[in-house]
Amino acid sequence: MKALATLFAAAALACGITAHAQTNYPTRPVRVVVFVPAGGAADLLARITAQKVGDAVGQTFVVDNRAGSGGVIATNLVSKATPDGHTLLQCGITTHGIGPHVYGNLPYDPVKDFEPIILSATMPVFLMANAQVPVKSVADVLALAKAKSGGISFGSPGTGSAPHMVGELFKIVTKMPSQHIPYKGSGTGAPALAANEIPIFFDAVAGHQAFIKSGRVRALAVTSATRVAAYPDIPTMKEAGLARIDGQVWYGLLAPAGTPKAIIAKINAEANRALASQDVKTRLTAASIVAAGGTPAEFDKFIRDELAKWGPVVKAAGVKVN
């Protein structure tokens, strides 16, 4: 009986220590791993929310850009991290909607190896063109592609990204002769479009805004159901006669599987507060990013639905990376 009592006391002490650690979380700087290079919408969102949440909990949230392999490098790193809430992943449709259908033999399970925290934000995809390209509408793009031998190349922030898949869907629906040219994120793709290295580009607009404002890049259409407030003159794909071309970029936060629920709940609560704050909303809206939010359970369902939605599109496009 004495041994049993000792065992119970040890277990109670361990639980008390764990509970205390969770209550005081975070106890050191938190690393938020982002799967794209610095620059662009994902990086902007990560930095805005990381600062806000870090200020609220009294610890630094450090953004760590780990680009490469369509997000596999960053996602794998976090899947293997200690599940104590001090290493998080800003995931997205690239890593947890489309990527698992594109990349074979992933070193992690996109559902089982992670704890959903929150859906952070969504963004529509824009079709954009370099201003020197003689196109001012979707119809102009199709006409130019069909007139040119070999069609017209289109860029995206990377193979398997949401903008890439929207571009592939555009090809399928319109039968446009085209070749995809992937870039390493919006941070490299946006300057390439502005320099006319690529004639047209599918992407979220955040990383391209300075070039649109300067007149070097022209936005032609957007995949959202309604026009974007910051770009009221840009028609939707539906208005251009292409209602089947939809899809949104989205981002959220994940922790490694096994992260204590109390820590998940704390991050979720602070992230919801940050996303609901007027200053964050204003900064995100300026970049055509729509703040989201919600519970971990809602984000879990959202991820599973996205995985089911994009599988058939990837298969129809014939996109596969081994």
Nearest to 78 by CA among 93, 90, 70, 67: 90
**According to the model, what pLDDT value does residue 20 have?**
45
Q: Which residue has the higher pLDDT, 157 or 12?
A: 157
Task: Give me the helices (H) in 33-156, please.
Answer: 41-57, 72-79, 93, 99-102, 138-147
- What total of structural domains would you count in the chain? 2
In sequence order, what DSSP letters do the residues of 189-251 get, joined into one string?
A: HHHHHHTTSSSEEEE-SGGGHHHHHHTSEEEEEE-SSS--TT-TTSPBTTTTT-TT---EEEE
**According to the model, what pLDDT value does residue 22 have?**
53
**Separation between Cα atoms, residue 211 and residue 221, nearest integer Å:** 16
The pLDDT tens digits for 250-302 are 999 999 999 999 999 999 999 999 999 999 999 998 887 889 999 999 999 99
CATH number for the domain harbouring residue 73: 3.40.190.150
The pLDDT tens digits for 45-71 are 999 999 999 999 999 999 999 998 889
CATH number for the domain harbouring residue 172: 3.40.190.10
Range of the domain at 262: 29-122+250-317
In a domain, 227, yes or no: no
Shared domain check, 50 and 103: yes
The pLDDT tens digits for 205-264 are 988 999 999 999 999 999 988 998 889 999 999 999 999 888 888 999 999 999 999 999
**Separation between Cα atoms, residue 22 and residue 294, nearest integer Å:** 21
In a domain, 13, yes or no: no
Model pTM score = 0.78
Q: Say yes or no to pLDDT of 75 above 70.
A: yes
Shared domain check, 144 and 85: no
